Every structure is written in structure tokens, then in C-alpha cells.
Structure 1
Amino acid sequence: MAQQKMLLLDGNSLINRAFYALPMLSNSKGLHTNGIYGFMNMLLRVMEEQKPSHVLVAFDKKAPTFRHKEFEMYKAHRKKMPDELAQQLPVLKDILSAMGIAILESEGYEADDIIGTISEACQKENMPVVIISGDRDVLQLVSDDVTVFLTRKGISDVEEINKQCFEEMYQIDPQQLIDVKSLMGDKSDNIPGVPGIGEKTALKLVRKYGSIEGVLENIDDIKGDKLRNNLETYKDQVVINKKLAAIYKEVPMDRGLDGYRLGDMDTVALTQLFRDLEFKTLMARMGLEPDQGGIHGAGEADNGSAEAVDIETMEDKDDLGKVVSAVRRSQCLALYIDIDRAYLYDGQRNYTIKVKDSFIGEGVEPQLLFDTIKDVLADQDIQKYVLDSKALYTMLNTYGVELKGVAFDVMVAAYLLDATAKEYNLEQLCERYSVHYQKDAPAYSVYYLAKAMETQLKDKELDKLFFDIELPLANVLASMEISGFKVDVDMLRQLSEEFQGEIDRLTKKIFSLSGEEFNINSPKQLSKILFEKLQLPVIKKTKTGYSTDNEVLEQLSNYHPIADYIIEYRQMAKFDSTYIHGLLNVAHPVTHKVHTTFNQTVTATGRISSTEPNLQNIPVKLESGRQIRKAFIPGSEEYILLDGDYSQIELRVLAHISGDENLMDAFIKGEDVHLRTASEVFDIPMEEVTPQMRNRAKAVNFGIVYGISDFGLARDLKISRYEAKRYIDNYLEKYKGVKRYMHDIIEFGKRNGYVKTLLNRRRYIPQLSSRNHNVRAFGERVAMNTPIQGTAADIIKLAMINVYRELKARGLKSKIILQVHDELLLEVYKPELDMVREIVRDKMENCIKLKVPLVVDIGIGDNWYDVK
């Protein structure tokens, strides 16, 4: 007879983890399913590994527990469970019941208490116990017979902790963890700890004195006046904390351990539940047969084999010929390149090619590998499925190989489906999109992931955006990274000397005003000068002392001239260190080009960002900062720089989306929109508008786009909140279409959980359902701004693709080298200048049809500074 084993799961903890780890998946009826899907994947994996005889899933009840009676503020700050998660709990319980798995919740107790009670009963019967939870509190239950598996990141990263492991980690007995928590408190449960005691100090005290009782009995022996005083002050709370932290092990039970034995599965009920949820992969995994046509949505895709797949390993040139022939027959190639391996899948068979590098002597030389398969890679008719096409374009370029025919980019698709994801790891993506991950055949996983994701893109109406814009854009960005942007290193060094001279001048001035020398870069020393020696008013405090950030310094400038000099000093120091020396450090030693990385899958709005170095952040507000742009020059004297800059694109997009007649009329007539707004807001003829009025109207125009508040506008314009509110109210009164748009888009976001751009790019905004006013207000600002900023981002991406294709189609030498916000910068071969100027204007102004015209300003210059 097989050994009995109890598997205990904290249902609330695990579905909560799954819900936040996976994107907002839902079935075709609108029921959210991500929590259930993640929970089930984890449950099945654990059951396959542990093979338990008994299984229990414990849940919390909504009612208060005995801990709330003991301490009224217990978990008082916990947010209400999101409706999208709450609707999944009853469905999960139905699934568990159909699987023959016991579920239990008990009024007045938490899931941990149920787990602790059953765990205790199992130990009396010598039955091994495995606990799965995301809550570290259960570690106090670890023993010789009890092992805990803690979920760490999401649901796939799990840490196994047995008694030996626990003791090595903490050097205490598991039961003493209650004492540690009693001293340090627990913010997640709103249990207040003793001030100044964190985990390190709490562990040290418990190791020495054994328990909180031992600690309190020996308070007089504890070193450190502050620690000793705090323990004396909070000793009553510490005693209460122990009652709150200890898992209760005597919850009344209505059955013995045999009542939690894994029962028979109700396949009919389970099949129907999974069919309704559209969990095709899970049905296959559990041996359930779906009806033909009964599953749709993400379930339509073939998600690959769960079993290990056959792999053919190749180590020399002769083998590579077989791969080329196979790919040509299938007209399909999934590709995944690692440090010492190239993984290929032709739709039927997997191939692993060992690649030599500087550390591994065996395998095929990289150049030989890519030379052998370059014709296949460059064949437009052979469909390529890849994880990150931009990275692949640039990598293959170093070997003189061109990549064509990219049919799918998994990373870009994942970004479109969930722009808030932090990373796009292949294994995590497979788990997220119900695809079987093949560790030894990642190209196979890429292929089936592409199939599954394509279905989701279509379901969410993102397929056109993906195939028409984001997929071809990766090639454009790769070409820009490869081209690079030349810098004049001699000019940078000269600027550095000038900046350093200015820094020295400012340093002397600051020392003179302060009456002594000190480290200006030290916040501690600076605050001592400002607030103790000069007796300036304290504006803001931090954990470590007085704040000396720029916002504080700007306010202090009203009291003492030293503040302005410190602000200027910081600006000049940043220009010199971050920009001048930053550029000199990354410029190629021979070509003097900087090759930035354009990030296509980072921003939530769809904007492209730039890193290493960040060329989109080169200063423009101050003349001293703008001087840095003079160092950016064409690659040779045969070329000149051309800049195409959209004029007020976000306001034009706002006019189109809102349909506001006043705003559209201003753009259609070609009027100065800020002058027109000033006339409307201040209710005076346009010819009477002063420059100050126009500037304030401009701030209102752009502020509205970003959902600015009266507080924010007042701060920007240095006016009262009353006056700022009056400007905004007057604006919305005159521009009723904009006011209607702002209301409607927020309501759309609340109903759907996301807002979208004109080209259907989605941004999910969970903050809109928050009960916290400030968080909800932030969500509303995001909802108002995202369709505007996101549509502007989509438009410039479309323009980039069209300009790039036209330059290639005409065989021109000119090329795009940079994209910054609403402008494109090109390096133009001088004989092609007139032609390229017309191409840029035409493709940028006509890439999309709006209700108002798109206008592009063209600038020409021998350096980046001069094109503006």
C-alpha cells in the first residue's frame, strides 16, 4: 500500500498570487479566468510531483476572526478583493469539488488555522504533510513531518522549506517564528511591531532569549537605551501580537482525516466547467475530451506537446545541410539563439546546434552556422517565428546576415497583450498563455506560443496593430540601432571643460554665500548649511533628515540666493557627468558613434524609449543643456541631418477623438491653437491676447491632455489654485467636446478595465476600481491621457515604417537614425535632400486620416542643435 500523504493548500493566498501574476484573461462571456487558470496549473503540477492521498484546500471566510476581536485594527488596511478576482472564487470551488478535492472554510478562523489544525492531526497519525502557500506565516508549522512550499514570484517560482532548511535559514525553531513576528510586527496583517526592530534584531533577540517572554523578562539586560525603552513601551502590544501571529491548531472539525482523502473525479461536471472557462489545454492535460467547436478564444490554438519532444543534435557543417533542406520543405522556421546553442524547429522536428564560443571549444563556429543558413534566413517566403526579432536583426547583422520573413515576434505580442508586464521570459510566457514549455527545445515553445498568442491578439482586436505596426517596426528600430549617431568627441571634451569652469564658479559662489566650504553633493552637509547655519525654513523632511531636493530649493530661492546657485550647480554637474562623460564612455573608439537601444516593449503608453545611452533625454529646456546637441553630427561630410517634427500632435489627436468643434475648427483653419484657447478662456478677442495669456493657455491645453489638476496647474504657472481651477473650468466650458470625452473615457475604463487608442492599443488600468481616492484619481488621469498619448505614439510608429520602406524602395542612402517623442531624425545623403524632405513630409502627414490635418515642421542642419 502506497504511503499516505496530506496536501494542504491556502486557497485564498494561491488564487490571489495567480490573479496578480497573470494578465487579465477572460472567456468569451467576459468571466475573468486568470486566477483560476494559474491556480489549476500550480495544483496539477504539485499533485503530479507529490502524489498525495489526501488533499484539502482551505479558504478564508469574509466574517471577522477571533484575531479581529483581540485587536480591532487587525488587517484593517486590507483592500477589498477586486471584483475580477471575487467572481472566480466560487467557480474555483466548483472545480475542486468536481475533482474530488475537499474544501473547507470555518467562521471565525483563517485558512492558516485550518491548515495548522489538519497538520497537527496528521502528525499524530504519522502522516507526512506538504503545505502550499504564499504566506510565510505557515513556516511556523514546519517540522520533521511537515514541509512547506512557498510561492515567491507569481506561481511558478516555488521555494521548498523543510525543518533542516528552515533552521539553516533562521537558526531558530519554527515555532519561534511566532516570537520573531510578535517583535517585528507584520505590515501585511497590520500588526504593529516594536519601533526599531526589524527581522534581523528580532531574530537576534529570540535566539538569545528563546521567546518574547524571555525577552521581556530580561529587558534590563538588553543593550541600547532606545531599544530597551521601546520594548518597555510596547510590551503589551508584543504580548497581543503573539496571539495574533500564532496559527490556531484547534479549529473544530466535522470529520476525521479520512474525510479529506482524494475522491473520485466527476468528469462530466469538470468537462462542462472547463468548457465554459475555455480551458482547452487543461482539459487535455487532465484527459478530458472537449466537444468539437465547444472551446473558443485562447483555447483554439494547438499548444504543443506536454511530453518531451524528439531533438536532433548537430555538431558540424554536414549536419546543417539537413536542416536547410527540411526548412525549405516546410517553409517554416522557429528560431531561438542562446550563448552556446542555436535551437531550430521546422514545424515537425527540433534541431539543436552546438555553437562554439570563447569558452566552449566544441561545436560549429557562429560565422559558419549563419553563413550556412543565411539564404534560409533571408528568404521572405519562409515564415520565421522568434522570441525577440529586434535583437535577432542586430545580432545577425554582426555576421553579415539579413533576416526576412518574420511572421511572429513573441515578445512584441506579449507586450501588446499586457503592456504592464515587467519581463518576457519564455518559460513564464508559456505558463501565462497555456503553452507547454520545452526547456531543451525552446524554438518549439516559441512556435506554439506564437500560435496561441495570435488567437489572443485576434480576440482582443490587436492583430492589425501587431502585424501592421509593431512587427515591422522592430526591423526599423534594429536598423536605427545598427546605424548609430555620430558624436564629435572633441566638442564634448570642450563642453566638459566649459561646464567644469562653470561648476567651479558656482562652487565658489555657494561657499561665499554659506561662509564655509562643504560637500555640496552631500544632502546631510547641505541641509546643515541651509537649515542650521542659514536658518532657512524647513520645507520637507525625509527619513534621514531634511529634504534638499530641487522642489525644496525652488521654494527656498524666495528666502536666500544660495538656493538658485545650488540648483544651477546641480544642473551643470548633471550635464557634465550624465551627458558629456556618459556619451564619451559609450561612443565607439573608432567610428565615434553611439548605438542606443530602442525599447519597443517597455512603456505602458506605446511610446518608444531609449537606453544606453538615453538619447531621448538630452536636455532641451536650458541653453547650456541644448549645447550638447551640437556634438551630434552626421557620419560624414557627405551627409546632413533632417528633422521631421509633428506640430502639436497630441492636441490634434484630442481634437479628433473628442470631436470638439472649437478645437477642430482652430486646426482646420491653421490658427495658433494656444492663441485661440487664450481667447476662449479669457473671453477676449484674439488680437488682445498677451504673451502671458498665451503661455497660460498653452499650459492649460497640454495640461488637459495629461489630466492635470488645479493643484498641478497652479504649481506649473505659479498661480493660486483658485485661479488655476478657474482656467480649467473656463476651458471645459468652452471646449464641451473635450469635457464630454474626459467623462466618457473614464466611464469606458471603469466598465472594461482598460482604455484604448485609435488603433486599438490597450492599457489596463486597475486603479480605476480602487477605493482609495488618490489612486482612483491617478487612474482617471491615465485613462484620459492614454488614448491621446498612445495614439500619437502609434502615428509616429506608422510614419517611421512608411518613411523607412520608401527610403528602401527607392534605394536611397539616407536613413532614420533617431526617434524622439514626436520627431524623426534622419541622416540624409546631401544629393538626396530634396527627395527625402518630400518623403518625410508626405509619409508623416499622410500616414493616417484624422478629422484635422497633421502638420510636420522640417528642419535641416549640420548638427542636431541646428535642425531646430
Structure 2
Amino acid sequence: MEKIVLIDGHSILNRAYYGVPDLTNSDGLHTNAVYGFLNIMFKILDEEKPDYFAVAFDLKAPTFRHKMYEQYKGTRKPMQEELRQQVPVIKEMLEAMQVPLMMLEGYEADDLLGTVAKKAEADGLEAVVVSGDRDLLQLATDHIMIRIPKTKKGGTEIEDYHTADVIEKYQVTPIQIIELKALMGDSSDNIPGIPGVGEKTATKLVAEYGCIENAYAHVDEIKPNKARESLRDHYDMAQMSKELATINIHSPFELDMEKARMTDLYTKEAFELCKKLEFKNMLSRFEVSQEEHNHTAESFHMTSDLTQAQEWLEKLKKEQQIGFYLLSDEKQEFCGLAVSGKEETFFFCNQGFLTEQYLTSALEELIETAEQAVTLQLKRQLRFLQLSESAKKKILDGAISAYLLNPLKGEYPYEDLAKDYMKELIPGAAELLGKIKISDLNAEDERLSLLACYQSHTALHSMSVMLERLQGEEMERLFEEMEMPLVYTLAGMEKEGIRADAGILKEYAQKLGEKMQELEQEIYAEAGDTFNINSPKQLGNILFEKLQLPGSKKTKSGYSTAADILENLAPDYPIVQKVLDYRQVAKLKSTYADGLAAFIGEDGRIHGTFHQTVTATGRISSTDPNLQNIPIRTEMGRLFRKVFLPKEGCIFVDADYSQIELRVLAALSGDEALIHAFQNNIDIHTLTASQVFHTPLDQVTPLQRRNAKAVNFGIVYGISAFGLSQDLKISRKEASEYINNYFASYPKIKEFLDQAVVTAKEQGYIATYYHRRRPVPELTSSNFMQRSFGERIAMNSPIQGTAADIIKLAMIRVDQRLHSENLKARLVLQVHDELLVEAPVEEEARVREILHEEMMGVTDFPVEMDIDIQSGSDWYEAH
């Protein structure tokens, strides 16, 4: 038998919207509902392999049901804007896939699905109807299956219903689903039913009498009395509800079966739309050849011949602007060089006479002769180059400019830049290579050539558009004077690395292991039982069932043992504090004592990676390992800094900005009281405590100062009264009073924060002092929690972002001074507001002077950027 699959469009789109986390593409278009819909659709089609396929949608026009009952579906909330904007997108996608859309004014999608499914059954076809709406169960037969997707953790689960399945689950036949609705109503569609009859009673009546007409004919026999009286008094409502709930299987709609016949969904148009929506993991479903969707590669050329290479290089010397890309593999081994001119791109294989040294020298010469050179991901290529200071100033990194223009993406692959700034659809690395590693390919493999050429070509031809945008958004100076010089500073830090003592790490690992065993035995003694402390389920059972501790929160998998729950219990229950201590020790051992050892290189140093295109605020992040995350809040965690040592004859000099974000807040808000406090070295937390708690300055208690500190830093992060009450373990009313008193003491801060929210709502973004933009799409969300989050972003981004910009400028200036004065000292680490320099002992005094001058002189704010400088024979001692 042939088979037709019919999908209830709005129902599945709605289910996908609430089942998939919010996604947006580079243009800010919400895409999660479309993405989820396609995943469900592909899953169904892969399983069913139908001969025919169509999707039904509702239209905005009123249906015959609205004319019958004005309040029909009247309780439904308006569609959320983020979902509404995706309806035309899924329709466009389906049309691109040549899938017929079923719509008819005056009728609902359900009616069209019912009409087509029943006709298909009559014509000898199997029908599969996919919807999240259980009303459609009335259509189920032995040849019509209703499939209802349910979002579960880890994917989508689908419930299948033929006639027997409906009877088993609901104790009524499919057609009797209508009778149930007639009696019990349906709140989602605002079908009234009759008063006082719920699902249980309705099921009992339908099982006994079959239909409402028969039930009414025997109304005097009905029990309970309440149901009897309700049906007698409101039979007209039951009749109307039945009509509203009945799917019209004879609607005047006819599906063109030839147009519905399954063909190849994976068309060129659908492929391009998937690219536009940035559904990268769906592209593998398409077998669109490179020639079909892209002609760029026709201008690419490859050689491993020296004579031809020399001809091409001479040709490139005449270009005023070049693009380039040095290709390396996973092991950072050089593979070849791509260079783009205005019309053509050339790839030079690392083969024969075209050695790494020859090609990198040739590139250095090209950069010197060109007016401008553009690439992507410059920092990873610098290990192959020896650039003069003049050459460095000519190079621009397209990935960094793309990051400034849209800092929310996190990744900036060349194919996205080509799409966003060149309107070109080109294959990404995943499409070109699949699961093959670069290191597995021959040097002359065309895929390597294409990969490098696309990078180079995209870098060159997207940059003019991005520079124009940066200029229009007042970020050109930020790009050229902060972000580009920072590339060289970070590359130098990665190359330098930081020395780590494997012996000390091993010793810590052993001590921490012993501490874990000790805590383990103490916990077992308190519990009176042995169990797996790392198992939340077993731990929950011990704490909340066996020991009967209060404050439990039951989840599907057992009792929650989340940190916030345990922290509330810890002061009163020693076993809970020991569990928290055990977790902390275990984390220190696995992440740091054991984890850091794997990153120590042959030179005894850790060469981590610093990222400048990851965080939305502009802060630098660190991976492999994350050295910015070395714990400092506990003494046990701080001891890990003893692992990091300067090389022989050197010392660490550590400079840390003092309260940088509060100083930035004072400067940006212009609040005279806060500025005066910083200018006169008044302890800001003591002053705030005095103001908030109405206490003379010399009578502020340590507790009041601690609470005021939480308020000060909470304000920077846009904290709410609820958040502050949780932090300080006080009532929400008290926390609200603290915040109100704070704003009364520093009125211009309140004005500044309120204005930041207004500005972000008007512009769609908020900016730092240095014009770095942070889009705030959350402010337009229909979800209250999302909007509140957006308001906090609007308040804290100018402060955090400006602080991040200041530390970046300080890094560049310190690094350049160390080099310009020919010192051997080098910047080796940046952690939030702290810079760590490894300096020969004899250079310590000069390094201190440079740190003082450059870090404090980086801004012209009315508030001085004060720093604390320490030295030591290890990082612990220096901090």
C-alpha cells in the first residue's frame, strides 16, 4: 500500500518552539521553531518513507466554528513574537523543498488533515497524521495513524495511535473522543462542555451510553446526580461543544496528489535557505555539488611547481590589497599558503622546493609590498611568520571585525562571513573535509587547496564591507587600535607560556586524594552507612530519607543535591558541610591537580590559548587549560598558584586593578559622591555601608561593610532585590531597602542604569566607553524572565565591557613598553583585572614602574585606575 504523511504545521511549529532552546542566526532572526520542526519532519519521513507528503496550516481568517461560537479559542494567548516571525520562514522552507501547503479560508488545518486522510484511506492508502493536538485522535483507524511528538530530555519521543491504541489509553473509540469533548470541554480551544463534568465522568458516560444523544435519551438514569442535572440543563451546550470538537472530514479541499508525491526535498533553494538560517548540521543531508551552488572556486589555482609559484608571486606583488591564509593541520604543522588578489586566489602546496621557509618568506615580502593584507584567525598563523612592525600594522583579521559587528555568535567561520558580508554561499570546512583530518590528506589534495583558498578569498572580499560597517558603528578605531594590536600581545603570551612544576602538582594530587578519603570516612560515620558520595541519587536518599533533613526538593530522578540546597543546610548539619568540602576537594583534584599536568609541555611550561572573539562583553577568555579559572576564593584553591614558577633568575611581578568596575561605574555615571570617595581614598565599601545603614563612617561594623560590598558589586551586575536577599540571606524587603538606600545615596548611578536600559531598548544594543557594542535582543522578548535578563545586560555591559577594554589597552601598552625598552621581561598571563609579568630579578624595579605608568595611565577618567603591585618567587607569593 502507498502511504501519505500529513503534518499539522502550526501545532508542530509551536511544539518545536517550546521544545528547542532559543536560536538566532547572524541577522538576529529567531530560528529554533523552524529548526525543531525540520528535525521532527526529517525523523518522521526517515521512519515512514511515504509516497506522498503535505503540511497543513491555519489561516488568520475566522472559521465556521468562530461564527458558531464567538468565544471559540478565545482564551488562547497571542502567539509570541519570536514564534510568529518563524511562521513565514517554515512556509518558505517547505515551498523550497517543493512540499505542498494545505490552507483554506474558513477551515482549520485539522479539517484539511481529516478530509485528506479519510480520502486517502478510501483510495487505499495508509495515512500518517502528525500533530501535537490530541483532537486528531478522532481520525485514528487501522489505516490512519496519528503520531504525537513529545519533547523529552535528549530528543523527541513520538506516541503512535491506531484505533486499538486510542481505546487502550482513553477507554473510548477514536470517534468517541468527540463525545468526551462535548461533555468535558477543551480549555485549550475554549470549548465549554457542560458544567461539573470532568474527564473521569465524561469517560464513564461515553463508555456506558456511546454518545451524548443516547446519554440524553437516558438522562434520568445517569449517575452521579450532578452529571445528570448538568446534562439535562445544558444539553444545548453539549451539542454545540460536540459540533465545535468534530473535525470536518468533508471540507471543500482537495489535495493535488501529483504535487504531493515525494520528490527530492533537498533542493538548491532549500540548501541556500538552510545556509542562511545557519542550520549547519542539516547541510549534510543535501547532495548539492560545489558547482551548483558556488562559482567562486573557478578563480582558485593550485601549484607545487617552483617556477609557476614564482610567476604567481610576481603577479601578486602588483596587488595593493591581498588576502592570505597559512594552512596548518591539527598538530600545527604547516601545509601550504593561499594568497588572494582582486581577481584570483593562488594556493602554494608545501611540496618540493616550496618549503615552509620559502613560502612564509614570500608571504612576508608580499605583506611588505602591499598596502593592506587581510586574513582570518591571524593569531594561529603568527607562529610561522617573522613580521616587521610596519607589516604588523598592515594586517587586518576578518574574524575579529566580524566579532565586533556581532559579538553574540561565538564562532566566525569563513562561510558565515561570505554569506553575511559577500552574499556568497560557499562550502564550509565540514562540507569540504567531512570527518577527514587535514593531517590525513596529501599536500596536493584539492580539498586542502579549496579550504585555504576560501579562507583567503573570504578574508579579502568581506573586509571592505566590514570596515564600512565598523566605521558606521564607530568601532573602526576600536578594531585597529585595540583588537588588532592585542592579537600580537596574546600570541606572545601563548608562545612564552608559564612554567608549572609537575612535582608540586603530583604532591598536591596525593594530598587532595588523602583529604578526600578522610572526608569520605567522616561522611560515612555521620550517615551511619557507606554510599557513593558522587551519586546525587544515593546522597539524596541518605540526607532526605534516612537522616530526614529538611528543605528537600524532589525531581524526577530523586532528591536534588544542588549546591544552593546543600549550602542552606550546611551551617546546621555538619554532614552537609563535609559533603560540600568533599566536592570542592574532588573538583580541585580532577580539574587542577590531575588536569593541569596534562598541559605541561616538553619545555616545562603551559602554553594555553587566549581567545578574544568569544565573550559578548569583550573579556578575553582562556582554554587548554583555562588559567583564568585557577581558584582564589579558598586557601586550598589559592595554593595552586604555588605550582606556577618563574624561570631561573626571574621573579613574578603581579599587577591587579583595584575595584576597576566600581571605578568605571563612578566615571561613567558621573556620581559626585562616588567619584569624591575614590579621589580621596575613602574605603568605598565602608562609605556605602555608612550611607545604606545610616551609620557614622567610624562606626561601620565588619558585617555592615561585607553587606555593603555585596550591594556595591551587585549593582554593577544589575542584581535584583531577590538576588541580593539570596546572597546576604536576608528578607527580600530588607534587600529592597538596601538597594533603595544605595540609589538614594548615589542618585546619578540610578539615572545611569535606568538610561542604559532605555538606550538599549531604543537602539537594540548598548555600548562601552570605547564604543564596543553589545546587542541586547532579550529586551524585545515576550518572555518576562528574558526581558529582565536583557535589562541586567543593558545595565552591566557598559561597566564590564569598559573594564575589559581598559585591561586590553593596558596589556598592549605594557607589552609594547617591555619590547621597546629591550627588556627580557615578558607578559605571561592575564586573569580578569590582573597582569602577570615574568621578569629577570634585575629588571623588577623597571617592570614595576612600567606597570604603574601604563596601567594607571590608560584612561583619562576623573577616577584614577588604582593598581596593587606585588612580587614573588611563585604566583601565590606574587598575588
Shared fold (TM-score, shorter chain, > 0.5): yes
Distance change >3 Å, CA 72–CA 116, structure 1 → 2: closer
Asked if structure 2 preserves the Cα contact closer than 8 Å seen for 1:341 and 1:353, the reply is yes
Match of 1:701? 712
User: How many Å separate the matches in 1 of 2:411 and 2:493?
Assistant: 23
Which residue, 830, 838, 841 being the options, matches 2:852? 841
Question: What is the one-letter code of the residue matched to 2:348?
Answer: I
Question: What is the one-letter code of the residue matched to 2:666?
Answer: A
Question: What is the one-letter code of the residue matched to 1:495?
Answer: Y
Match of 1:805? 816
Identity of aligned residues (%): 38
User: How many Å separate the matches in 2 of 1:708 and 1:580?
Assistant: 34
SS of residue matched to 1:330: coil
Distance change >3 Å, CA 837–CA 573, structure 1 → 2: same
User: How many Å separate the matches in 2 of 1:373 and 1:599?
Assistant: 28
Asked if structure 1 preserves the Cα contact closer than 8 Å seen for 2:418 and 2:426, the reply is no
Distance change >3 Å, CA 569–CA 89, structure 1 → 2: closer
Asked if structure 2 preserves the Cα contact closer than 8 Å seen for 1:491 and 1:631, the reply is yes
Distance change >3 Å, CA 463–CA 199, structure 1 → 2: closer
Give the CA deviation at 1:629.
0.4
Match of 1:426? 414
User: How many Å separate the matches in 1 of 2:75 and 2:824?
Assistant: 65
Query: Any idea what the Cα deviations from partners look like across 1:80-103, whole Å, max 9, x if unmatched?
Result: 2259959x989x99xx9xxxxx99
Asked if structure 2 preserves the Cα contact closer than 8 Å seen for 1:353 and 1:364, the reply is no
Distance change >3 Å, CA 400–CA 475, structure 1 → 2: closer
User: How many Å separate the matches in 2 of 1:718 and 1:659?
Assistant: 32
Query: Any idea what the Cα deviations from partners look like across 1:140-187, whole Å, max 9, x if unmatched?
Result: xxxxxxxxxxxxxxxxxxxxxxxxxxxxxxxxxx999984533x4479
Match of 2:81? 81
Say whether 1:814 aligns with 2:825.
yes
Query: Any idea what the Cα deviations from partners look like across 1:620-675, whole Å, max 9, x if unmatched?
Result: 010011000011111x2222111111111101111111111111111122211111
Match of 1:23? 26
SS of residue matched to 1:181: strand
Which residue, 706, 710, 724 being the options, matches 2:721? 710
Asked if structure 2 preserves the Cα contact closer than 8 Å seen for 1:619 and 1:625, the reply is yes
Match of 1:775? 786
User: How many Å separate the matches in 2 of 1:674 and 1:436?
Assistant: 55
User: How many Å separate the matches in 2 of 1:426 and 1:105?
Assistant: 40
Say whether 1:216 aligns with 2:166.
yes
SS of residue matched to 2:876: coil
The equivalences for 1:213-362 within 5 A come to 213-217=163-167, 308-336=297-325, 337=327, 339=329, 340-355=335-350
Match of 1:449? 462
User: How many Å separate the matches in 2 of 1:20 and 1:347?
Assistant: 36
Query: Any idea what the Cα deviations from partners look like across 1:459-510, whole Å, max 9, x if unmatched?
Result: 2222121111112212211111111111111111111222122112111111
Match of 1:646? 657
Give the CA deviation at 1:137.
7.1
Question: What is the one-letter code of the residue matched to 1:212?
Answer: H
Q: Which runs of 5+ in 2 are unaligned?
A: 1-6, 36-53, 121-128, 133-139, 172-198, 204-242, 260-275, 277-292, 330-334, 428-449
The equivalences for 1:417-816 within 5 A come to 417-437=405-425, 440=450, 441-442=453-454, 443-588=456-601, 590-634=602-646, 636-816=647-827
Stretch deviating more after TM superposition (675-684 or 695-704): 675-684
Match of 2:286? none
Which residue, 358, 375, 378 being the options, matches 2:364? 375
Give the CA deviation at 1:728.
0.9
Match of 1:181? 147
The equivalences for 1:843-858 within 5 A come to 843-858=854-869
Aligned CA-pair RMSD:
4.9
Question: What is the one-letter code of the residue matched to 1:851?
Answer: P
Asked if structure 2 preserves the Cα contact closer than 8 Å seen for 1:749 and 1:755, the reply is yes
User: How many Å separate the matches in 2 of 1:604 and 1:709?
Assistant: 22
User: How many Å separate the matches in 2 of 1:316 and 1:414?
Assistant: 35
Give the CA deviation at 1:393.
1.7
User: How many Å separate the matches in 2 of 1:119 and 1:463?
Assistant: 59
User: How many Å separate the matches in 2 of 1:247 and 1:483?
Assistant: 72
Give the CA deviation at 1:541.
2.5
User: How many Å separate the matches in 2 of 1:605 and 1:180?
Assistant: 48
User: How many Å separate the matches in 1 of 2:394 and 2:111?
Assistant: 54
Asked if structure 1 preserves the Cα contact closer than 8 Å seen for 2:569 and 2:576, the reply is yes
Asked if structure 1 preserves the Cα contact closer than 8 Å seen for 2:405 and 2:470, the reply is yes
User: How many Å separate the matches in 2 of 1:662 and 1:519?
Assistant: 54
Give the CA deviation at 1:543.
2.6
Distance change >3 Å, CA 509–CA 256, structure 1 → 2: closer
User: How many Å separate the matches in 2 of 1:106 and 1:379?
Assistant: 66
User: How many Å separate the matches in 1 of 2:877 and 2:498?
Assistant: 15
Give the CA deviation at 1:422.
3.7
Query: Any idea what the Cα deviations from partners look like across 1:12-48, whole Å, max 9, x if unmatched?
Result: 989x99x9644347xxxxxxx999xx99xxxxxxxxx
Match of 2:430? none
User: How many Å separate the matches in 2 of 1:690 and 1:606?
Assistant: 37
Asked if structure 1 preserves the Cα contact closer than 8 Å seen for 2:657 and 2:867, the reply is yes
Asked if structure 2 preserves the Cα contact closer than 8 Å seen for 1:746 and 1:780, the reply is yes
Query: Any idea what the Cα deviations from partners look like across 1:710-745, whole Å, max 9, x if unmatched?
Result: 222122222222222211111011110011111111
User: How many Å separate the matches in 1 of 2:154 and 2:361?
Assistant: 63
Give the CA deviation at 1:610.
0.9
Match of 2:237? none
Distance change >3 Å, CA 305–CA 743, structure 1 → 2: same
User: How many Å separate the matches in 1 of 2:63 and 2:701?
Assistant: 66
Match of 2:871? 860
Give the CA deviation at 1:558.
4.2
User: How many Å separate the matches in 1 of 2:775 and 2:249?
Assistant: 42
SS of residue matched to 1:408: strand
Asked if structure 1 preserves the Cα contact closer than 8 Å seen for 2:664 and 2:803, the reply is yes
Distance change >3 Å, CA 822–CA 252, structure 1 → 2: farther
Distance change >3 Å, CA 647–CA 372, structure 1 → 2: closer
Asked if structure 1 preserves the Cα contact closer than 8 Å seen for 2:143 and 2:162, the reply is no
Match of 2:433? none
User: How many Å separate the matches in 2 of 1:115 and 1:426?
Assistant: 43
SS of residue matched to 1:818: strand
User: How many Å separate the matches in 2 of 1:807 and 1:828?
Assistant: 10
Give the CA deviation at 1:684.
2.4
Give the CA deviation at 1:379.
3.1
Give the CA deviation at 1:780.
1.0
User: How many Å separate the matches in 1 of 2:493 and 2:569?
Assistant: 44
Asked if structure 2 preserves the Cα contact closer than 8 Å seen for 1:178 and 1:246, the reply is no
User: How many Å separate the matches in 2 of 1:542 and 1:829?
Assistant: 57
SS of residue matched to 2:339: strand
SS of residue matched to 1:640: strand
